[in-house]
Amino acid sequence: MDRIERDVVVIGAGACGLTAATQLRRSGASVIVLEARDRVGGRLRNDDSSGALLELGGQWVSPDQTALKGAIEELGLETFSRYRDGDSVYIGPDGVSHRFTGDIFPASPETQAEIERMIAVLDGLTAEIDPDRPWAHPRARELDGITWRAFLEQLSDDAEARSNVAMFTAEAMLTKPAHAFSALQSLLMAASAGSFSHLVDADFILDKRVVGGLQQVPLRLAAALGDDVLLSRPVRRITWSADGAVVEADGDLVVEARQVVLAVPPNLYDRIDYVPTLPLRRHVLHQHLSLGLVIKIHAVYEEPFWREDGLSGTAFSPYLSVHEAYDNSNHGDPRGILVGFASDARADRLLALEPDERREAILDDLARYYGERAKHPTIYVESDWGSEEWTRGAYAASFDMGGLERFGADVRTPVGPIHWASSDIAGAGYQHVDGAIRMGHWVADQVLAALAPTPA
Ligand code: FDA
């Protein structure tokens, strides 16, 4: 058995855990990071095994994500803009394809005006929500007790306007059906990105990418931590007391530490045994947080043929399985790459098909956006994070109905020496890499305060 002693053990080598470990070490604490997978980065993953560099997990950076932008700059990485010149495509409830520019989908003038009115109302409400404390809003209980779908039904009689507005936080963000989460959870999603309008504006929310892929952030952080990052070490048990913890991982590894950072998605908290067991409220809380489901699809072509047709590659439809798609061509690679997303119940239906049938159904949707040539990619890759043992969903966790108001205030409260941190429980940057990095810094501060000697 290997036995290691450190001031802090960080569990999980995603952007959050590695940010925390880096800051802790810079502040003089000794640290070890234990990672279950045989690679670092968690939900960030560059993959070139198909013949093109594909970012299978998180990839985009938006202007408000200052913590992530700071990390990118500090690590000496470069960014480039997503291709966006030309018309976007919208397919409405009648199945007809329309070209448009700007943010508002080209429905009838009445529906367009209704979408704009709804977004203005939602911007007003979002401005009242503190992303770090959404449960403190005076109407938190009411807003957490109504589903996003029912809330929009109260807001508008226009079904097409509702489907479009619902999509910005349902299919496109929480990746759960609009009847499965609350209006408060939806407003938190918007508040964490600065406003509801930001979620509507694809040019804002999907602004930049990192040359060589966003996984370079955790890869470079891990390289600097060197031998203090151990791979293929899933943590199975934490024995804890007020004085510290003993953490047991695969490979007969035991780490004794004064503080623990559990930087894993919340749906995985209960895969670890806690001795003694966690307090009752903590156990109950865990059962109210779950991840959504999305399939991310990459299709690579000899050239970005849609650009010749004056299309930007940006395409939306709440009525197709692939509800959104973009030009995802790489920096310095002449090939054209499209990326599409199929979420929630649409993903269920697609995943029930045989792989060939699923590919055909997905490429049919891409062809409806971009024409017949979309049916013939040279490379086709689906990334399904629901099947990944150490993630089990995407993009990140959200509370069930009523859970945010009931448990939110406790979600970051440590238990003895165990501190919780991930993008899934962030305020600003929630569900995004920016939130993971913010939480990494925040939890490092908490741990350093706990390590500091108590004044006599
Ligand atoms: P993350 O899950 O990355 O890291 C946790 C780590 O803990 C993992 O490495 C895991 O293996 C490990 N672990 C789990 N259990 C363990 C155990 N018992 N012992 C040891 N290790 C354990 N964000 C964004 O900003 N822009 C975007 O474009 C996108 N797009 C996107 C697409 C897809 C398909 C996904 C899946 C996600 C995104 N995201 C995104 C979200 C973003 O990727 C995500 O929020 C962060 O990468 C999460 O970082 P964390 O470090 O919090 O968790």
Is there an atom of ligand 1 within 6 Å of 429 CB? no
Confidence class for position 454, pLDDT limits 50, 70, 90: confident
Mean pLDDT score, 415-433: 98
CA distances from 325 to 41, 298, 452 (A): 24, 10, 49
Confidence class for position 103, pLDDT limits 50, 70, 90: confident
Mean pLDDT score, 97-119: 94
Residue nearest to atom 31 of ligand 1 (CA): 58
Q: How far apart, in whole angstroms, are the C-alpha atoms of residue 17 and residue 19?
A: 5
Q: Ligand 1 mean position to 241 CA, how many Å?
A: 28
Summarize the annotated binding site as residue ranges: 35-36, 235, 341
CA of 431, closest atom in ligand 1: 45
Residue nearest to atom 9 of ligand 1 (CA): 42
C-beta of residue 2 within 8 angstroms of C-beta of residue 199: no
Residues of the chain with CATH 3.90.660.10: 46-63+79-83+205-209+294-387
Is there an atom of ligand 1 within 6 Å of 195 CB? no
Is there an atom of ligand 1 within 6 Å of 422 CB? yes
Residue 16 clears pLDDT 90, i.e. is over it: yes
Residue 139 clears pLDDT 80, i.e. is over it: yes
pLDDT score at 7: 98
Q: Ligand 1 mean position to 167 CA, how many Å?
A: 22
Tokens of 27: 């502040």
Phi, psi (degrees; rounded to nearest 5) at 281: -60, -35
C-beta of residue 304 within 8 angstroms of C-beta of residue 290: no
pLDDT score at 250: 98
For a mutational test of ligand 1's pocket, the pick from 209, 264, 298, i.e. the residue with the most ligand atoms closer than 8 A to its C-beta, is 264
Query: How would CATH label the architecture of 2-42+215-278+415-451?
Result: 3-Layer(bba) Sandwich (3.50)
Q: Which of 442, 421, 423, 411 is nearest to 43 (CA)?
A: 423
pTM strictly above 0.90: yes
Confidence class for position 427, pLDDT limits 50, 70, 90: very high
Mean pLDDT score, 214-240: 98
CA of 17, closest atom in ligand 1: 51
Residue 364 clears pLDDT 90, i.e. is over it: yes
Confidence class for position 354, pLDDT limits 50, 70, 90: very high
pLDDT tens for each residue of 111-121: 999 999 999 99
Looking at domain 46-63+79-83+205-209+294-387, its CATH class is: alpha beta
Q: How far apart, in whole angstroms, are the C-alpha atoms of residue 373 and residue 383?
A: 22
For a mutational test of ligand 1's pocket, the pick from 253, 395, 424, 437, i.e. the residue with the most ligand atoms closer than 8 A to its C-beta, is 395
Residue 434 clears pLDDT 90, i.e. is over it: yes
What's the chain's average pLDDT?
A: 97
Residue 201 clears pLDDT 90, i.e. is over it: yes
Number of H helices, E strands in the chain: 16, 21
The C-alpha R_g of the chain, in whole angstroms, comes to: 22
pLDDT score at 338: 98
Mean pLDDT score, 55-71: 98
- Count Cβ neighbours within 10 Å for each residue of 344-354 and write b for 16 or more, e otherwise: bebbeebbeee
pLDDT score at 445: 98
Residue nearest to atom 38 of ligand 1 (CA): 58
Within 352-402, where are the H helices? 355-370
Is there an atom of ligand 1 within 6 Å of 42 CB? yes
Please report the sign of the dihedral spanned by the C-alpha atoms of residue 96, residue 100, residue 102, residue 104: negative
Mean pLDDT score, 235-240: 98
Is there an atom of ligand 1 within 6 Å of 45 CB? no
Is there an atom of ligand 1 within 6 Å of 174 CB? no
Mean pLDDT score, 80-96: 96
Is there an atom of ligand 1 within 6 Å of 12 CB? yes
CA distances from 44 to 66, 86, 216 (A): 18, 29, 9
CA of 19, closest atom in ligand 1: 51
pLDDT score at 53: 97
Residues of the chain with CATH 1.10.405.10: 111-197
pLDDT tens for each residue of 397-423: 999 999 999 999 999 999 999 999 999
C-beta of residue 147 within 8 angstroms of C-beta of residue 182: yes
Question: Which residues on adjacent β-strands are paired with residue 295?
Answer: 342, 384
Is there an atom of ligand 1 within 6 Å of 396 CB? yes
C-beta of residue 24 within 8 angstroms of C-beta of residue 7: yes
Confidence class for position 455, pLDDT limits 50, 70, 90: confident
C-beta of residue 318 within 8 angstroms of C-beta of residue 167: yes
pLDDT score at 304: 98
Mean pLDDT score, 84-112: 94
* Region 111-197: CATH code: 1.10.405.10
Residues of the chain with CATH 3.50.50.60: 2-42+215-278+415-451
Residue nearest to atom 6 of ligand 1 (CA): 12
DSSP state of 32: E
Is there an atom of ligand 1 within 6 Å of 214 CB? no
Residue 317 clears pLDDT 80, i.e. is over it: yes
Amino acid type, 62: S
pLDDT score at 384: 87
CA of 65, closest atom in ligand 1: 25
